[in-house]
Amino acid sequence: MITKEELMKIQILHQQGLSQRAIAKQLGISRNTVKRYLRAKVDSPAYSARPKTTSLLDLYKPFLHSRIAQAKPVHLSGVVLFRELKELGYCGGLSLLRQYLYEYRGKQAPTEVVRFETQPGKQMQVDWGQMRGGKFPIHAFIAVLGYSRAMMVVFTDNMRYDTLEQCHRLTFDYFQGVPQEAWYDNMKTVVIERDAYGEGKHKLNQAFYQFAKSMGYIPKLCQPYRPQTKGKVERMVRYVRDNFFRPLNTKLEAMGETLDVMTANAEVMLWLETVAHQRTHDTTKQKPADRLVEERLALQPLPPTLLPVATALEPDVPLPSVLTTLSAQPLHHPLSIYDQLSEAV
């Protein structure tokens, strides 16, 4: 039995003047088959019923349905479910799982946004993400290096300015350097008024202005409604929520415990090193941990101290085009510094 495409090729080659023998040789089929279909002048071949194929996911669908129902209203991402399925012996791919999840949840696959790529040490993107609301909220400060996609996550119970500054200090210490620029949205702790002194000249929070100057990087504001300008960190907010916070939170809830800021910060450092930075990134096709080694060489050295900067503020002036670049030698701290998280946030 030949396919519809093979029948089409037989008819076309016959119209081009090839003999039955030549057609059979070119298509790798018997001469009698070519003769039979040319004489019958059928429009399409008859197809026998195909046996129903089984998906690599079929065996694991009951587990998926149960896991999704158990987590509701929390949304478990495909990456989390894929990791759990692999532990059960699933040998299919992540794309197959994602496609099934879209269909099962009645959703369409998201449209991909093209991101701007930057050179090592050039850019960092910063954002807040609310992980939990209510009386005991948990927020996540997330900073992502544009080249390596390595990130730092600090969980807090507030988004005050002093908390923002301390999160930056912990981030620069973790990255072992300072990028040339960092991108933000309309955080009130960062910007007072956009375009206050003309297009692209923003009125910054003066405490933040002093901090950025002391650290030696240029703060920039992303354009509204343009996911390309700060899309890397916005995507990581969802990644942290779906792949770290929600799975950890649901597991603790099943044990009758409540996730707090201190526990989240203790767990996230291990998760960054063993999961987030060891995954192969969809865009770069490399592990963030490997690219971070390269990017660290391009970062500006840390300032000579990570103590709070002076409280005296400069007059209200627009952000200059270039901030002072500090040239001190790198100051590396042991990972024990992150024990300060419970006190800092």
Residues 100 and 127 occupy one common structural domain: no
Tokens coding 134? 């209510």
Residue 257 maps to a domain: yes
In whole angstroms, what is the distance from residue 345 CA to residue 343 CA?
6
Residues 210 and 274 occupy one common structural domain: yes
Residues 230 and 332 occupy one common structural domain: yes
Pairing of strands 203-204, 191-193: antiparallel
Residues 178 and 311 occupy one common structural domain: yes
Q: What is the pLDDT of residue 227?
A: 45
* pLDDT value at 66 more than 90: no
Residues 228 and 288 occupy one common structural domain: yes
In whole angstroms, what is the distance from residue 163 CA to residue 156 CA?
8
Residue 46 maps to a domain: no
Given the structure tokens 């701007």, which residue do they identify?
Answer: 116
Separation of first and last alpha carbons in the chain: 71
Residues 35 and 63 occupy one common structural domain: no
Weakest mean pLDDT among 83-92, 158-167, 252-261: 83-92
Q: What is the pLDDT of residue 69?
A: 80
Residue 51 maps to a domain: no
* pLDDT value at 171 more than 80: yes
Are the C-beta atoms of residues 58 and 20 closer than 8 Å to each other?
no
Residues 218 and 87 occupy one common structural domain: no
Averaged pLDDT for residues 222-238: 65
- Average pLDDT of every residue of the chain: 77
* pLDDT value at 182 more than 50: yes
Residues 170 and 310 occupy one common structural domain: yes
Residues 163 and 76 occupy one common structural domain: no
Residues 134 and 264 occupy one common structural domain: yes
User: The dihedral of CA 38, 43, 48, 54: what is its sign?
Assistant: positive
Are the C-beta atoms of residues 247 and 80 closer than 8 Å to each other?
yes
Q: What is the pLDDT of residue 344?
A: 41
pLDDT tens, residue by residue, 22-36: 888 888 888 888 888
Residues 94 and 137 occupy one common structural domain: no
Predicted TM-score of the model (pTM): 0.58
* pLDDT value at 200 more than 60: yes
Q: What is the pLDDT of residue 278?
A: 94
In whole angstroms, what is the distance from residue 236 CA to residue 238 CA?
5
State which residues form the domain around 234.
123-344
Residues 288 and 258 occupy one common structural domain: yes
Q: How far is CA 144 from the centre of its chain?
A: 10
* pLDDT value at 295 more than 70: yes
pLDDT tens, residue by residue, 70-92: 777 667 778 888 888 888 778 88
Averaged pLDDT for residues 193-212: 77
Reported confidence tier of residue 223, pLDDT bands at 50, 70, 90: low
Q: What is the pLDDT of residue 159?
A: 94
Structural domains in the chain (count): 3
